[in-house]
Amino acid sequence: MKPTAAGLLLAGLAVATASPTTTCSTNSSTPSAPKGKWFDRFVVIVLENTNRGTTFGDPYFLNLTNMGMYLDNYHGTTHPSQPNYITMVTNSIAAGVFNDDDHNTTEYSIIDLMEPKGVTWKAYMEGYSPLANGECNPVSEIKETLYVRKHNPFMSFDNIRNNTRRCQNIVNAEQHFAKDVALGAGAPNYMYYSPNLDNDAHNTNISFAAKDIQYLVDTMLNNKEFMKGTMILITFDENMIYLNTNYGQPNAIYSLLLGNDTIKCYSCVDQQYYNHFTQLVTLENNWNLGNIPNGGGWDTFWRPFGQLRSKTDDICAYAPCSEYPDGKSPPPADADWNDQNY
């Protein structure tokens, strides 16, 4: 499927209103973040290379579905890792980045739309160390700390990597994440989190990764001020489609939304089709950011998450029947995921 000609035209028009040349100003009077349609803060945590069924096999990840909205039809966009991360933040197929090598791209990203509107952001990278004065460290990997650049999509964009002020928003997760959550309402509006190669299950397994994720989730959920208007997405870059035994299968991954102020129901399942572009489109719609200039126009093609809570909706254990594409309410969640009709 490709974006329509109309979609591309819209993307072109957006250049006039969201000119990226105005985004590099260090003017301290940037507007305060506009109120979001569904949320005032979006946190995404990205894990690695695990089939959906394997993730459900872990008691922690299974349990977590009782607290939020499970996205039953969410898919990685591609293989290998890096382009999946990049499609979360820009509107072309990975900004021309199709492998795990270091790339520099002149394309634009969601950051170019957020900054002029006063939407604040930070990228938390486990094991990462910036250069002096917070300059971007473009290194491919830091072996001792298990940081890899291919899981840090912001580093590929020239207008981020070459900009000290923007680089200062890409931080070492261990030093900054809990501290920023403790700011409560003052935490950034967009928080992008990549665990290291052990904690994201890349070099380990899903049970190992569960420990880090539980720490991160608990840190957030235990802070009521932080959780006000906050939506958390826990997702994976891709499943194990690259193995011969899985090759050709859909890139289905475990993805879960948490945050009762922002989703229509908890302990429930949303059956609509989503992929990593959905994140981008949801962010654009939430803050009325327009579309990313140039690129592939994919942010005019996909739709945002479909079961998010507007200010007038009530939270309930299950979405209203009418809101499910199949007209059915999902059965109650219990310890047996097979009951959940997917």
Ligand X SMILES: *[C@@H]1O[C@H](CO)[C@@H](O)[C@H](O)[C@H]1NC(C)=O
In the complex, the residues that contact ligand X under the rule CB under 6 A are: 27, 29, 59-60, 63, 67-68, 102, 104, 106, 138, 158-159, 161-162, 204-205, 207-208, 221, 258-260, 266
On the 0-12 / 13-18 / 19+ scale of CB atoms within 10 A, 221 is middle
- By the 10 Å C-beta count (0-12 exposed, 13-18 middle, 19+ buried), 260 is classed as middle
Beta strand ranges found along the chain (DSSP E): 41-47, 69-75, 121-125, 141-142, 147-148, 170-172, 190-194, 230-236, 256-258, 268-275
To the nearest whole angstrom, how small is the minimum distance from the Cβ of residue 162 to ligand X? 4
Q: Which residue's CB is nearer to ligand X, number 136 or number 281?
A: 136
Looking at beta carbons only, is 59 or 325 nearer to ligand X?
59
Q: How many residues does the chain have?
A: 342
Q: How far is the CB of 2 from ligand X (least distance, A)?
A: 28
Considering the complex, state which of residue 61 and residue 277 has its C-beta at the smaller distance from ligand X.
61
Q: How far is the CB of 154 from ligand X (least distance, A)?
A: 12
Phi, psi of 271 (to 5 degrees): -95, 0
Least Å from the CB of residue 170 to ligand X: 13
171 contacts 128 by C-beta, under 8 angstroms: yes
CA distance 16 to 129: 36
Nearer to ligand X, 8 or 64 (CB): 64
Residue 52 or 75 having the CB closest to ligand X: 52
Q: How far apart are the first and last CA of the chain?
A: 24
CB of 277 to ligand X, least distance (A): 24
Q: Which of 99, 96, 97 is nearest to 79 (CA)?
A: 99
Minimum distance, C-beta of residue 15 to ligand X, in the bound complex (Å) = 17
Residue (20 or 76) nearer to ligand X, CB: 20
**All residues at 6 or more sequence positions from 51 whose CB lies less than 8 Å from its CB, including other chains:** 239, 240, 246, 252, 253
Rounded to whole angstroms, how far apart are CA atoms 149 and 155? 7
Task: Please state the closest distance from residue 265 (CB atom) to ligand X, in A.
Answer: 9
Closest approach, Cβ 107 to ligand X, in A, equals 11
Residue among 13 and 62 whose Cβ is closer to ligand X: 62
Cα separation, 321 vs 174, in Å, equals: 42
Q: Are 216 and 203 in contact (CB under 8 A)?
A: no
Which of 210, 253 has the CB closer to ligand X?
210
